[in-house]
Structure 1
């Protein structure tokens, strides 16, 4: 009984380590996004950190238009980053989880 418990604890620690490693790796996964007309370009990591932002000169003339562009483009990029982040972390956690009867957490 204790052997099984110790084995499960070890697997849980391995799962936690895999999740942490995945989080670190996601800092290097870059997602490029741009507005439909290419006047605003940005890059974010899969951990949802903005790495680069390019704004066309003509957008700097209209504050409201720039704000709209930023909101739309950032939301698209962050949604993509979030989807990648969730998928990768769930896979890392599932891969390292011990098989505990009755606990099908990741179906």
Structure 2
């Protein structure tokens, strides 16, 4: 029984390392999102960091319209980033979790 516990602890430490590696990798995964008319393009990382914003000149004339475009487009990009991040981290974490009844928190 003690050997099983040591094996589980080793597996948990290995899983923790893989989760951290996955989180670090998410800083390099880029998500591009654009407005429906291509007047605004944004790039964010899967860990939800804004990397780039391209704004068409015609949007610069109307502050309120630009703000609306930024809100909608950034929210879409950040939502996609969150989905990717959550799925990737959960997949790695669930691979290494020991099979403990009632502990199916990643499914």
**1:54-93, aligned counterparts within 5 Å?**
54-93=54-93
Aligned to 2:22: 22
Aligned to 2:44: 44
Cα distance, 1:26 vs. partner? 1.1
Q: Secondary structure at the match of 1:94?
A: helix
Q: Name stretches of at least 5 consecutive residues in structure 2 with no aligned partner.
A: none
Cα distance, 1:7 vs. partner? 0.9
Q: Name stretches of at least 5 consecutive residues in structure 1 with no aligned partner.
A: none
Aligned to 2:7: 7
The alignment of Structure 1 onto Structure 2 pairs a total of residues equal to: 107
| Displaced runs of 4 or more, over 6 A | none
TM superposition score normalised by structure 1: 0.94
TM superposition score normalised by structure 2: 0.94
RMSD (Å) for aligned C-alpha atoms: 1.1
How many angstroms apart in 2 are the aligned matches of 1:106 and 1:31? 24
Q: Deviations over 1:49-105 (max 9, x none)?
A: 111110111111111001000000001101111111110010010011122244233
